[in-house]
Amino acid sequence: METRGRYTREEIYSQPESWKDAYEVIITNKKAIQDTLLFHDQQQVLFTGCGSTYHLACTAAAIFQEMTGLEAKGIPASELWLSPKSSYISKGHILLIAISRSGETTETLQACKAFTANNRGSLITFACYPQSTLTQLGSLNLVFPSGMEKSIAQTRAFTTLLLGVVGLCAIGSNQLEILDKMTAISTVGRNLLIKFYSTAETNGKNLGIDQIYFLGSGPRYGLACELALKMKEMSLTHSEAFHFLEFRHGPKAIVNRKTLMVGLVSEHNFGHEFKVLEEIKELGAQVLTIGEKGTDISFNSGLEEVIRNILYLPIGQMMAYERSIAKGLDPDHPNNLDSVVKLSE
């Protein structure tokens, strides 16, 4: 029995169960979310985090803006902390949503403390660990314990917090029908992991590949960044993320026969996105497509895009896990990393 990566593997496979608990957290806090979001006239909406949770912040901001029509931006917590003038508007009420698995990352805590001390607006926090420092800082603190993890690289935490964010956006935009439909995601996720396990394994174990790129646009750009980070952390592979059409503007030069291109394909820009992938294939790269239908890995979920976005993650995470094992590494213990970055202040 392989013991390397056993926590990561368990965390990846248990995601659909964890999503159910996250949904309950959102339902329990529905009124508090409505009160916090609707009470003020927000002049600026920012999502923040570090590493994985920064990528989540980027996806969250895109979803928030799509659903509410209000401008929103994802920004690393270190920028809010160290470069507040270039991050915040100078006047007006700001909504800051801070996301952290541990609730203990120094930059995130520092950014939130300064935000509150300077009376900049409302702070909502998302974390997985009850009693962590971050959960004491917001006007509303949402805690998702089912996302807690033993391994360093985030997998279950990321998607669990993402589901929480989608719930918050559904409530904030008063699209309560989206909230109702979110209950279907766990079953779809479970079936997806079973059905496409071998595709993830085959692609992950292919050591003939030495560079892996992820393409995603709109809310999927943050997801593409997160999957590239998984590849780096777990499998020490050169990996980057790009917006689909940006890939033609330079990055295309690095494509060769050892390239795997993973496309997080959307439904409404399917045609444009597939053209990019076809060009990359002609250059000799291998291409793997993930999307609702007509792709190598198809969700066939029938769910709204905002809900099914979460489904892009598990297969990419599995690929990183399999590649790590195939390279003789331990996915639970990436090189040079700790699960939380705590800086001496």
Coil, helix or strand at residue 296: coil
β-bridge pairing 140-143 and 211-215: unpaired
Tokens of 150: 């033993």
Give me the least distance between CB of 4 and ligand F1P, in Å please: 18
Tokens of 170: 């559904």
Q: Which of residues 252-271 bind ligand F1P (CB under 6 A)?
A: none
Q: Which of 164, 291, 159, 163 is nearest to 226 (CA)?
A: 159
Stretch binding ligand F1P (CB under 6 A), from 111-119, 150-158, 164-172, 319-327: 150-158
Contacts of 287 (CB under 8 A, 6+ apart): 260, 261, 262, 263, 277, 280, 281
Task: Check binding of 125 to ligand F1P (CB under 6 A).
Answer: no
Q: Name the DSSP class of 310.
A: G
Using CB under 6 A, pick the residue from 70, 236, 245, 340 that binds ligand F1P: 340
Task: Check binding of 52 to ligand F1P (CB under 6 A).
Answer: yes
Cβ neighbours of 210 (radius 10 Å): 13
Using CB under 6 A, pick the residue from 140, 184, 209, 341 that binds ligand F1P: 341
Task: Check binding of 337 to ligand F1P (CB under 6 A).
Answer: yes
Task: Check binding of 74 to ligand F1P (CB under 6 A).
Answer: no
Is the alpha carbon torsion for 178, 16, 326, 151 positive or negative? positive
Using CB under 6 A, pick the residue from 48, 105, 106, 125 that binds ligand F1P: 105
The count of chain residues that interact with ligand F1P, using the rule CB under 6 A, is 17
Task: Check binding of 132 to ligand F1P (CB under 6 A).
Answer: no
Using CB under 6 A, pick the residue from 101, 120, 230, 232 that binds ligand F1P: 101
Task: Check binding of 82 to ligand F1P (CB under 6 A).
Answer: no
Task: Check binding of 63 to ligand F1P (CB under 6 A).
Answer: no
Stretch binding ligand F1P (CB under 6 A), from 43-51, 58-66, 252-260, 263-271: 43-51
Coil, helix or strand at residue 225: helix
Tokens of 73: 């931006």
Q: Which of 102, 192, 109 is nearest to 151 (CA)?
A: 102
Stretch binding ligand F1P (CB under 6 A), from 86-94, 136-144, 316-324, 337-345: 337-345
Tokens of 172: 């904030």
Task: Check binding of 152 to ligand F1P (CB under 6 A).
Answer: yes
Using CB under 6 A, pick the residue from 153, 162, 223, 310 that binds ligand F1P: 153
What b/e string do you get for 247-279 counting C-beta neighbours within 10 Å, with b at 16 or more?
A: beeeeeeebeeebbbbbbbbeeebeebbebbee
DSSP H/E element including 73 = strand 72-76
Tokens of 323: 């590649």
Stretch binding ligand F1P (CB under 6 A), from 102-110, 240-248, 257-265, 306-314: 102-110
Position of minimal CB gap to ligand F1P: 51
| Contact indicator for 44, 74 with CB cutoff of 8 Å | no
Where on the chain is the footprint of ligand F1P (CB under 6 A)? 49-53, 100-102, 105, 108, 152-154, 337, 339-341
